[in-house]
Chain A
Amino acid sequence: MANGFVSLKGDDHSKVSVDLAVDFPDRASWSQRLAKLYTCRLYADYDNWSDTAANFPLKAGAAISEAEQFIDVVRKYLKDKFKLAL
């Protein structure tokens, strides 16, 4: 793997936007897109009330689409760099 770790303390989510591999495509852009997904996840888990819906930076459909796009990019990256098929 380019960079991987396991954390049991629940602090690993914030690393996703900082620890992308150096040669990951559009790294800065994906860093912010992942940070938004992370924010969505935090609202969904901790502040998911009827009056907090406007706080979500992405609507549910857009968040799913972003996540799917990220998975596609990761698949291609791993395949191109490490010949790994997921």
Chain B
Amino acid sequence: MIPITDESRFVSEAVVAFERAIGVTGVPHGLEQVGNKVFLKFAVGRECPLYDNALFESQIALSEDNPFKGALALAAVKTRTFPGSIEANALLTLLTRSTREVSQGGSSRGYSVPYVPFQKREDHQLAQPATHIVRGRRGVGKSTLIRRATDLLADGSSVVCVLDMQGYSTESGDELTLDVMYDACAGFVREAEILSERVGLKVDVTALKQIVQNIELGALNVKRAPIIIKRALSTLTAATKGNVFLFLDDFHLIDRVSQPHLLHALNGALKGANGWLKVAGLTSLLNVYSPEHREGLQHPGDAQFISLDLTLENPEAAETHLRAILEGFLNAVGYRLTRDVIPDAAFRRLAWANAGVPRDFLQMFARSLEHATRNRHAAVTLSDVNVAIGEFGQQKMDDLQKDARNEAGLLQKVLAKLEDICLVQNRINAFLFRSDDPKEQMLMQILSDLRMVHLINQSITPRKSGERFQAYILDYSMFTGVRRRPNIQEMIPKQLQFRASELRALPKVGPDVLMSAMTETAA
């Protein structure tokens, strides 16, 4: 027999551990006599991998004298609807934890949903000893891909360092270069020591430690830094018989002019020492090579591109990818992607409105689920999705301010022009765009990267042959929710692709529109 006071302490310890692991509080529980042993059972809707993991992690965390160590179990209690279930609540926490924009640091504690690969095994490609530039829109899965690649490299003899570049976004020039080199070398030292312990290999990191110290003391000349680091890394990789990988996530946040210079210095430190750079960022805000200074990474000589975008140009592929991702999350809490969770029409609306961007899609699904729970709906309905889409607009505008600080004013002007032409004058959410000016093309690409417009067709010829346009839709946040405009015709493919006749009829946006926005901003 356990004394009553001790028993409540032991129960409390176990309940706190379990609830923390699944991210839900107030899970009903009770004691049950099983043979000669008392079990603590949690009343949940159904068994699932998330609970398996939570029970296991909780039991390991319990103090040694806790009698429920090895005596925690689940008791399945039928739930009426998915939105009202404990599993839906646990899923919301899992979605929040999983959609944080983090690649740096070790694997986070807690359950992680199995990775859903893209179509070309980009994760294995990124884990290869080669220099890569990973490009894609915001939220498309660049940081997730980096985490996956580092997981693949974890068991081998590689030394891996991941740097989130946001911390360096206010720096430039030599200060930036030395700070990044300092953190990279300190990271290599830390990881080499872990590797050394794991495989029982003696690895000398004295030279790298000395570099770190010299940078700290201001005793390392920035021009000599690459060659000195290269020598130290050559010694390291010769000892490990492996490779060194430096991942730079959100590299587009670095001062645009400084980007090629920094990459030039880092590549100089790694190249020829079995060291490889992996750079990830928004397509249009990356500036990896400066022809003027002949600095940076040149494609394809120095680096290969890995593009992650699954756009609405191929709605079926984008939808299939999102379906697989959501299925993975639902499986974690014991559910399948069926109409009891979200009817097909609501799912397709969610996938289309998020233009195939996984993080947006998951975050908006989470918000839709919250609405469904609050409104006591039997499943996530189309109206829950519509409300969530409208609420999401402000976040995208915030992203625009954060990612494109220097050009935010111009981008907002362009958006206002597009809004007027599409939503006010033509009452439709799509347009055709054509420009031969690289700056204007870049503007549209930035808006696409920031998910304010979405490409639906790369090449359409509405008038005379040879005059090619791109077709875009405006993001749903521009005409739903708080910015709701009634009676807007939505471009949604009736089949798997749009018909050419539908696209040809869209309003046209020419160079004059963007030019006037640029002029207004300059004034």
Chain A residues within CB distance 8 Å of chain B: 13-18, 27-29, 31-32, 35-36, 38-39, 41-43, 45-47, 55, 57
A16 touches B70 (CB 8 A): yes
Chain B residues within CB distance 8 Å of chain A: 34-37, 39, 47, 49, 51-53, 55-57, 59-60, 69-74
Q: Could you tell me the distance between the alpha carbons of A42 and B36 in the complex, rounded to whole angstroms?
A: 7
Residue B70 contacts which of A18, A28, A36, A46 (CB distance < 8 angstroms)? Answer: A18
Q: Which 6 A/B pairs are nearest by Cβ-Cβ distance?
A: A14-B70, A42-B35, A46-B35, A28-B56, A28-B53, A31-B56
Q: Could you tell me the distance between the alpha carbons of A17 and B60 in the complex, rounded to whole angstroms?
A: 10
A43 neighbours in B (Cβ, 8 Å): 34-35
B37 neighbours in A (Cβ, 8 Å): 14, 42
B52 touches A28 (CB 8 A): yes
Report 6 cross-chain contacts, Cβ distance below 8 Å, ordered by A residue. A18-B56, A31-B56, A32-B74, A38-B70, A39-B34, A42-B36
A32 touches B52 (CB 8 A): yes
B73 touches A18 (CB 8 A): no
Q: Could you tell me the distance between the alpha carbons of A13 and B37 in the complex, rounded to whole angstroms?
A: 11
Point out which of B34, B51, B73 has the most chain A C-beta atoms below 10 A from its C-beta. Answer: B34
Known: A28-B57, A29-B52. A42 touches B34 (CB 8 A): yes
| Nearest CB on A from B113, distance (A) | 14
A39 touches B52 (CB 8 A): no
B49 touches A29 (CB 8 A): yes
A32 touches B35 (CB 8 A): no
| Nearest CB on B from A16, distance (A) | 7
Known: A16-B70, A18-B69, A18-B70. A27 touches B36 (CB 8 A): no
Q: Could you tell me the distance between the alpha carbons of A39 and B39 in the complex, rounded to whole angstroms?
A: 9
B74 neighbours in A (Cβ, 8 Å): 32
A13 neighbours in B (Cβ, 8 Å): 70
Known: A39-B34, A42-B35, A46-B36. A14 touches B56 (CB 8 A): no
A57 neighbours in B (Cβ, 8 Å): 73
Point out which of A13, A17, A41 has the most chain B C-beta atoms below 10 A from its C-beta. Answer: A17
Q: Could you tell me the distance between the alpha carbons of A57 and B75 in the complex, rounded to whole angstroms?
A: 10
B35 neighbours in A (Cβ, 8 Å): 41-43, 45-47
| Nearest CB on B from A51, distance (A) | 15
B70 touches A39 (CB 8 A): no
A14 neighbours in B (Cβ, 8 Å): 37, 69-71
Q: Could you tell me the distance between the alpha carbons of A38 and B55 in the complex, rounded to whole angstroms?
A: 15
**Across the two chains, which residue of chain B brings its CB closest to A34?**
B70
B57 neighbours in A (Cβ, 8 Å): 28
B70 touches A17 (CB 8 A): yes
Q: Could you tell me the distance between the alpha carbons of A36 and B72 in the complex, rounded to whole angstroms?
A: 10
**Across the two chains, which residue of chain B brings its CB closest to A42?**
B35
Residue B56 contacts which of A16, A27, A39 (CB distance < 8 angstroms)? Answer: A27
**Across the two chains, which residue of chain A brings its CB closest to B32?**
A55
**Across the two chains, which residue of chain A brings its CB closest to B60?**
A18
A38 neighbours in B (Cβ, 8 Å): 70
Q: Could you tell me the distance between the alpha carbons of A60 and B53 in the complex, rounded to whole angstroms?
A: 25
Given A29-B52, A32-B56, 7 new contacts (CB under 8 A): A14-B70, A15-B70, A18-B59, A28-B56, A31-B55, A31-B56, A32-B51
| Nearest CB on A from B81, distance (A) | 26
Q: Could you tell me the distance between the alpha carbons of A15 and B70 in the complex, rounded to whole angstroms?
A: 6
Q: Could you tell me the distance between the alpha carbons of A47 and B71 in the complex, rounded to whole angstroms?
A: 17
**Across the two chains, which residue of chain A brings its CB closest to B57?**
A28
Q: Could you tell me the distance between the alpha carbons of A38 and B59 in the complex, rounded to whole angstroms?
A: 15
| Nearest CB on A from B2, distance (A) | 14
Q: Could you tell me the distance between the alpha carbons of A39 and B70 in the complex, rounded to whole angstroms?
A: 10
B73 touches A35 (CB 8 A): yes
| Nearest CB on B from A86, distance (A) | 24
A36 neighbours in B (Cβ, 8 Å): 73
A18 neighbours in B (Cβ, 8 Å): 56, 59-60, 69-70
B55 neighbours in A (Cβ, 8 Å): 28, 31-32, 35
